[in-house]
Amino acid sequence: MRIYLILIIILIIGCTSQQQTKIENKTEAKSSSMDLPENGSETNISQPFMYEKKDNESIVPIVQPPPKQTEQNLSKTDHIKNSGRFSFGKPCSWEGAVNFTSPPRRLEDIGLIEPIGLMIGNHVTPIDHGYYYPSNWKHEDNPIEFKDVLAPANGIITEIETMGGRKDDYRLVIHYTCTFYTIYIHVKELSPRIKQFYGGMEFKNGKGINVTAGEVIGRANAFDFSVHDDNVVLKGFITPKLYEGESWKIHTVDMFAYFVEPIKSQLLAKNIREKEPRGGKIDYDIDGKLVGNWFVENSGGYAGLNRGIDNYKTHLAFAYDGLDPSLVVVSMGNFNNEPKQFAVINNKPDPISIDKSDGIIKYELVDIDYMIQGTGEYWDRRNYAKGIKAIGRGDVLGVVLVQMIEDRKIKFEVFPGKTASEVNGFSNPKIYER
């Protein structure tokens, strides 16, 4: 695989239109107080809106008045336990989405954006966050190269944690209402104000840090960004319980949809993915079909039995490339003891068409690469380019056999280094479920 793809993998390994289903058919946000911690000055909250989809009509924003502001303590424990929801006091009843009036990085500092849905390295199932890269990106934690990271709307930082125990690699959660929030990963430096609050007893005791739209919250080279709405459950996760280890995942929404114009169009212009949905897709499960995510039987679902430690080893996905969904991808957590992603010879059979009646399916595996249509050159994954085409290339690297034995259960085995003619049937398969 090309050296630039290796650099991308190094960055991503550190991280922990979609079909969406509303939990409730709301036509207005529940009014209450969004309670902000004091920072010495009054803060105006971005006006929230709920989405209402009418028959044969486009999505319409329903604007609500800003909530009353009072000081309350936040319960980060509630947030962790309740699928992303947290409490600004009891009860927390202000729900709905907000408009994003600032990009998460200044437009001139963005080289390219990759949406949700990639599968790379130990991210075996489609990834629930996108990536913001500078121009001519390279994997170097050189502070001179860092650019500002911004809050997209007024809200409250409810969580800050370090990634992998490193003191210079942060994950932040910003809530804008009780149910709507963004997650940033790989922020390398916190802003002085946020760093001061983060080190203080008030934050440690559960009081969040309020931020305003466009405020610098930190600095980074490349970083991860995702948007989540607890009032949305992705339809393509047919067993949501399997994802309790990362409760926000099933509530992932389009990472571009909430930005006001012209910011939305300006960000989409830097997005590598050109096919709809432009924001990517992570939920491919269809009951009775091979397509989607699978987990080794009785292995604890997404989190695994060890609650996140090498959990990817029991993951498996039959899905589509996150940048060019015309390419079928087989992504597995254990190929010769490594997590790997492959294209398949002839790009078929399509997993969306495979069910119990098809018997044993044999896929030959090859590497994935990207070409720039029109020039025939391979994409370096460091700079923006239009017309990216995902392809399978190179020699056959192995074979997988898979058979659907129940609507939510498959038999699977991988044969590294083999070709189709050398594999005649299962020898030591594992059972996967969902």
pLDDT greater than 60 at residue 128: yes
Residue 79, φ and ψ in degrees, nearest 5: -60, -45
> From residue 408, how far is each of 237, 359, 392 by CA, in Å?
12, 15, 28
pLDDT greater than 50 at residue 409: yes
The pLDDT, as a whole number, for residue 87 is: 47
Q: Is residue 16 part of a domain?
A: no
In which domain, by residue range, is 433 found? Answer: 284-434
d(CA 239, CA 220): 36
3-class DSSP state of 152: coil
Q: Is residue 244 part of a domain?
A: no
The pLDDT, as a whole number, for residue 1 is: 44
At 180-212, the pLDDT tens digits run 999 999 999 999 999 999 987 778 777 889 999
Name the DSSP class of 371: E
Q: Is residue 119 part of a domain?
A: no
pLDDT greater than 70 at residue 274: yes
Among residues of the chain, what percentage have pLDDT more than 70? 78
Mean pLDDT within 100-112: 98
> What is the sign, positive or negative, of the torsion defined by CA atoms of 393, 279, 211, 161?
negative
Residues 6+ apart with CB under 8 A from 204: none
Number of domains, the chain: 1
Q: Is residue 432 part of a domain?
A: yes
Q: Is residue 410 part of a domain?
A: yes
Total-model pTM: 0.82
d(CA 298, CA 254): 31
Residue 171, φ and ψ in degrees, nearest 5: -115, 130
Q: For residues 328 and 350, is the Cβ–Cβ distance under 8 A? A: yes
At 22-77, the pLDDT tens digits run 333 333 333 333 443 333 333 333 333 332 333 333 322 323 333 333 333 333 33
For residue 326, what are its two tokens?
């015309």
Q: Is residue 294 part of a domain?
A: yes
| 180 beta partners | 229
For residue 50, what are its two tokens?
């709920």
Q: Is residue 66 part of a domain?
A: no
Q: Is residue 253 part of a domain?
A: no
